[in-house]
């Protein structure tokens, strides 16, 4: 393998480890959604759960999988590269102590302000007797989930920087497994005592978050880490984490504002709209696990080490190759989900209380969400490199641009497209964000090999288009569970025949160097 692909191969190998675990998690997540769809359909109880879960989950994205996770991983990786593992572990104890106390305080505030948050997010719920009150109760049950998932993010960042990707990613699978088993068990318990059954799922979410954090501890202990309470708010490393988090929080808050706005609009689209969009986005989580989480988590430690060494030539090649790896996965995923949306939704969700009309509406939302997958992969490959270079304000500006595009489109088209405007607006916002980030990165880091990039991208677009033709021809007479692997094999065969090489990096086993 050429030297220019060496770091990309390393990133792809780490991404593959993450992806195997994340796919297990996402499949379990789909099973969880199947359980919810079968027991609750698109009912008002389900709408209440979606909104209540979304409130702490928004901050989960902000702290756990967003600003906190990326800022900590960048600092921990740099300290390990420059000062050794012992110093990096001291930094980890400082971060766990200070950030843990901060988030505990946030949990207390959230418990108090829960009614106001629900009123802000879903004011229309007050028109249905009991719906608003149930949403507040569920919010209070699930709010401490934020503390456990933030703790899990720091522990996962440490393991990723130490070269361990599979086990921290698998912890989210345990979360989903616990919510399924615990939620089903508590469903029947709450039914027996005459309480809303959806409360059982809320308690299961809380228990799953605790399990996800606790699972990672033994893996760190084996690598020599032992937590020590170190309250040092003036620590240089902690200051660096907060400095990196500042613009990141700004940018990710824009994403959360976007979700709040979308939820607000969805609650005005009639009963079931919130649930249809939630089910469609859950299906999006499966391909997002292929290139989004895995690529981002594996790319950040590698580029942080390259930036610490000031090896910008290697960083350029790592970025471009990783960008192509992400697009080689997101392009066929987008085509497949868009063309096969209805049979996929029917196969997975159309059981119990989930009606054929629910299938149609969820599939329409999924079609428009799918259009944003390639843009999402570009952002997920670009944002970690900005973090590695310390340019965290640029991703923040990109997030606000995405919000602006989305809100403008939804306001203009909601009367005509109803809930579908929200899904399409999200995809258009992602497109604008990805163009902005890619353009700014090429301006900041001169000399990127774009001629090679666009030539190889053209191949991927052509191959994904031909795969789409197979999907169109077969969707009426081939069962979708057979058609999906058939299309995937056809697409991989085209890449093997025509290239580019980056399209296969994700699937190749990396040789030890």
Is 183 a domain residue? yes
- Quick check: 305 pLDDT over 70? no
**141-173, pLDDT tens digit by residue?**
999 988 888 888 888 888 877 877 788 878 888
Is 283 a domain residue? no
> How confident is residue 53, by pLDDT bands cut at 50, 70 and 90?
confident
> How confident is residue 16, by pLDDT bands cut at 50, 70 and 90?
low
- Quick check: 464 pLDDT over 50? yes
Task: Reduce the DSSP state of residue 196 to 3 states and report it.
Answer: coil
Cα–Cα dist 281/65, whole Å:
17
Is 442 a domain residue? no
> How confident is residue 512, by pLDDT bands cut at 50, 70 and 90?
very low
In terms of residue numbers, what domain contains 154?
Answer: 43-252
- Quick check: 22 pLDDT over 90? no
Give the model's pLDDT for residue 387. 74
| Tokens read off for 231 | 């309250």
Is 105 a domain residue? yes
| Number of folded domains that form the chain | 1
Give the model's pLDDT for residue 308. 65
Give the model's pLDDT for residue 129. 84
pLDDT > 90: percent of the chain: 28
> How confident is residue 363, by pLDDT bands cut at 50, 70 and 90?
very high
Average pLDDT in the 409-413 region? Answer: 94
Per the CB < 8 A criterion, the answer to whether 10 and 163 are in contact is no
Cα–Cα dist 121/115, whole Å:
10
Per the CB < 8 A criterion, the answer to whether 176 and 211 are in contact is no
Average pLDDT taken over every residue of the chain: 82
**245-278, pLDDT tens digit by residue?**
766 666 555 656 776 778 788 888 888 888 888 8
pTM here?
0.68
Is 301 a domain residue? no
Is 226 a domain residue? yes
Give the model's pLDDT for residue 302. 59
- Quick check: 349 pLDDT over 50? yes
pLDDT > 70: percent of the chain: 85
Is 115 a domain residue? yes
Q: Which residues of 306-340 are buried (b: 16+ CB within 10 A; e: fewer)?
A: bbbeeeeebbbbbbbbbbbbbbbbbbbbbbbbbbb
Average pLDDT in the 118-145 region? Answer: 87
Is 398 a domain residue? no
> How confident is residue 511, by pLDDT bands cut at 50, 70 and 90?
very low
């Amino acid at each position: 393998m050429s030297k220019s692909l060496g770091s990309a191969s390393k990133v792809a190998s780490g991404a593959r480890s993450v992806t195997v675990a994340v796919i297990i998690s996402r499949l379990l997540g789909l099973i969880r959604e199947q359980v919810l769809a079968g027991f609750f359909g698109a009912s008002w109880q389900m709408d209440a759960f979606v909104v209540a879960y979304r409130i702490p989950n928004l901050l989960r994205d902000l702290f756990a999988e967003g600003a906190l996770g990326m800022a900590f991983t960048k600092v921990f990786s740099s300290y390990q590269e420059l000062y050794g593992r012992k110093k990096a572990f001291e930094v980890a104890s400082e971060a766990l102590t200070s950030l843990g106390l901060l988030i505990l305080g946030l949990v207390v505030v959230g418990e108090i302000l829960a009614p106001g948050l629900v009123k802000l997010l879903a004011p229309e719920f007050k028109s249905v007797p009991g719906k608003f009150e149930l949403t507040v109760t569920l919010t209070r049950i699930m709010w401490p989930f934020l503390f456990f998932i933030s703790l899990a993010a720091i522990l996962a960042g440490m393991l990723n920087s130490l070269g361990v990707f599979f086990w921290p990613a698998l912890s989210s699978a345990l979360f989903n497994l616990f919510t399924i088993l615990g939620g089903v068990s508590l469903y029947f318990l709450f039914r027996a005592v005459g309480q809303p059954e959806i409360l059982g799922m809320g308690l299961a979410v809380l228990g799953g978050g605790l399990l996800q954090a606790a699972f990672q501890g033994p893996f760190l202990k084996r690598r020599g880490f032992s937590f020590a309470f170190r309250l040092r708010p003036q620590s240089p490393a902690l200051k660096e984490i907060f400095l990196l988090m500042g613009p990141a929080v700004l940018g990710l808050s824009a994403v959360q504002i976007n979700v709040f706005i979308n939820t607000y609009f969805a609650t005005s689209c009639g009963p079931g709209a919130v649930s249809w969009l939630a089910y469609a986005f859950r299906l999006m989580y499966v391909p997002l696990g292929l290139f989004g989480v895995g690529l981002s988590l594996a790319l950040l430690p590698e580029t942080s080490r390259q930036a610490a060494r000031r090896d910008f030539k290697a960083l350029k090649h790592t970025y471009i190759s990783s960008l192509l790896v992400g697009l080689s996965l997101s392009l066929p995923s987008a085509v497949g989900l868009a063309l096969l949306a209805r049979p996929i939704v029917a196969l997975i969700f159309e059981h119990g209380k989930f009606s054929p009309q629910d299938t149609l509406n969820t599939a329409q939302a999924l079609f428009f969400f799918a259009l944003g997958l390639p843009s999402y992969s570009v952002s997920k490959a670009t944002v970690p490199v900005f973090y590695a270079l310390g340019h965290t304000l640029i991703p923040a500006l990109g997030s606000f641009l995405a919000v602006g595009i989305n809100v403008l489109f939804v306001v203009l088209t909601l009367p005509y497209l109803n809930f579908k405007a929200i899904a399409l607006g999200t995809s258009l916002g992602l497109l604008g964000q990805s163009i902005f980030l890619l353009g700014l990165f090429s301006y900041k880091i001169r000399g990127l090999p774009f001629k090679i990039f666009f030539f190889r991208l053209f191949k991927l677009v052509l191959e994904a288009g031909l795969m789409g033709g197979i999907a169109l021809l077969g969707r009426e007479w081939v069962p979708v569970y057979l058609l999906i692997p058939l299309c995937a094999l056809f697409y991989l065969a085209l890449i093997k025949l025509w290239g580019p090489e980056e399209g296969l990096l994700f699937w190749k086993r990396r040789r030890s160097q």
